[in-house]
Amino acid sequence: MSEELEREIASLQAQLIEATKRADEAAKRADEATKRAEEATKLAEQADNHETPAETKLKRSTFLQYLDHLQTILVPSLTAEDKPSLPSSGPVADVCGNVHLRVLRRWGDFSYLHDRQFDDLVKALGEEQLFPSRGAVEALKSDLMLDWRIDEESIEDFIRAYAERPARRIVNRFDARRQPRRGTLARFRDHDADGPSQPSPDRIGDPAANWWGIRAAPDGPQTPVLVGEFKAAHRIPAKSFRAVLGTDHSFAETLFADYARCETMTVAKVLCQAYHCMIIGDLAYGYVASGDSMVFLAVPRDDPGTLFFHLLDEASRVPSPRRSHAAGLATLALLALEAEAAPAQ
């Protein structure tokens, strides 16, 4: 090979090496440019999605967020005067002429039914923002001005705000997502003065009850499915329910035998009043609430002389969405909407 040819080959090889080097550097610069572009896009997206604290408060809540807002913002604001002698709207319960129950038993499987239903609610409602915002709950707290609640009329606003309305929202959102639909839950009270009058369903036989849960079918009749009784928290606080219903004795034998005890007598009268409304209205489900406590009730269709009860075993101020009064009442309402056979075992 001639010397001139060797020099030409060497020159070409050097040019190839240099071209390859420049190509590698160009590719590296292109990769860096792409990376910078991706980072810029990411920063732009983060800037677009950035929310101020005020914007976060106004954003609608998911199912679990809503329950958490109720538990951490609204519920702790209840302060009940610890003096049962303070005036209230008449006696704690008038049971004269009422239908009286024969047997009172624990509703042993309510916790299981509730856990199963709560899991279904979480699965169905998921991360959709279907419920009022944190700001809306804070505004509700301010509107209620819950610094002292001493009678049934005033405690009613609180119970409706932290349990009844949230439960109704949950039930109706859930029903809209299942097939076949069971019907929505509409609030109904004969003596409600803050809304338009509604025709009374035929099965409502006692207008003295505080709250009636109505199955509202789009193209069918309105049917009562649930009854609620409100009692002032200072007249029958959570500690009274726990003292009487939280014991292990046989209720059928001892609750009414112990009627002489003032605390026991008060609880017994309240349960009898709720039971009377359930029987007169031909309803399988009901509840009693006093603001800081809630008792869920069920009457088996095949044993109407027996009343099953479930006392929420955690204080209402414990911020647990699963154990909240709103979640428990939603389960009770869903059971009532589907009630055809005996509800309790």
pLDDT of residue 189: 53
Helix (H, G, I), strand (E, B) or coil at 81: coil
Cα 253 from Cα 285, distance rounded (Å): 23
Q: Pick the most confident of 35-49, 247-261, 262-276, 331-345.
A: 262-276
Residue 105 DSSP one-character state: E
By the 8 A CB rule, do 91 and 84 touch? no
- Read off the pLDDT of residues 235-274 as tens digits, 9 standing for 90 and up: 677 777 777 777 654 454 455 555 445 667 778 888 888 8
Between these two residues, 130 and 22, which has the higher pLDDT value?
A: 130
Q: Tell me which H or E stretch contains 309.
A: strand 306-311
In sequence order, the 6+-apart residues with CB closer than 8 A to the CB of 102 are 252, 305, 306
| Angle in degrees, CA 182, 188, 192, rounded to 5 | 165
Average pLDDT of every residue of the chain: 75
Phi, psi dihedral angles at 118 (to 5 degrees): -65, -40
Lowest-confidence region among 136-145, 158-167, 230-239 = 230-239
pLDDT of residue 216: 74
- Read off the pLDDT of residues 67-94 as tens digits, 9 standing for 90 and up: 999 988 887 766 655 555 554 444 445 5
Q: Which residues are registered as beta bridge partners of 318?
A: none
Phi, psi dihedral angles at 331 (to 5 degrees): -60, -45
Provide the pLDDT confidence category of residue 42 given band limits of 50, 70 and 90: confident
- Read off the pLDDT of residues 284-313 as tens digits, 9 standing for 90 and up: 999 998 877 889 999 998 899 899 999 885
Share of the chain above pLDDT 70, in %: 63
Residue 20 has pLDDT above 60, yes or no: yes
pLDDT of residue 193: 39
Query: How remote is the C-alpha of 167 from its chain's centroid?
Result: 5
Share of the chain above pLDDT 90, in %: 22
Rounded mean pLDDT, 224-237? 78
Q: Where are the domains of the chain?
A: 1-49, 60-338
Q: Which residue has the tokens 């702790």?
A: 76
pLDDT of residue 86: 52
Annotate 202-247 with three-state secondary structure.
Answer: CCCCCCCCCEEEEEECCCCCEEEEEEEEECCCCCCCHHHHHHHHCC
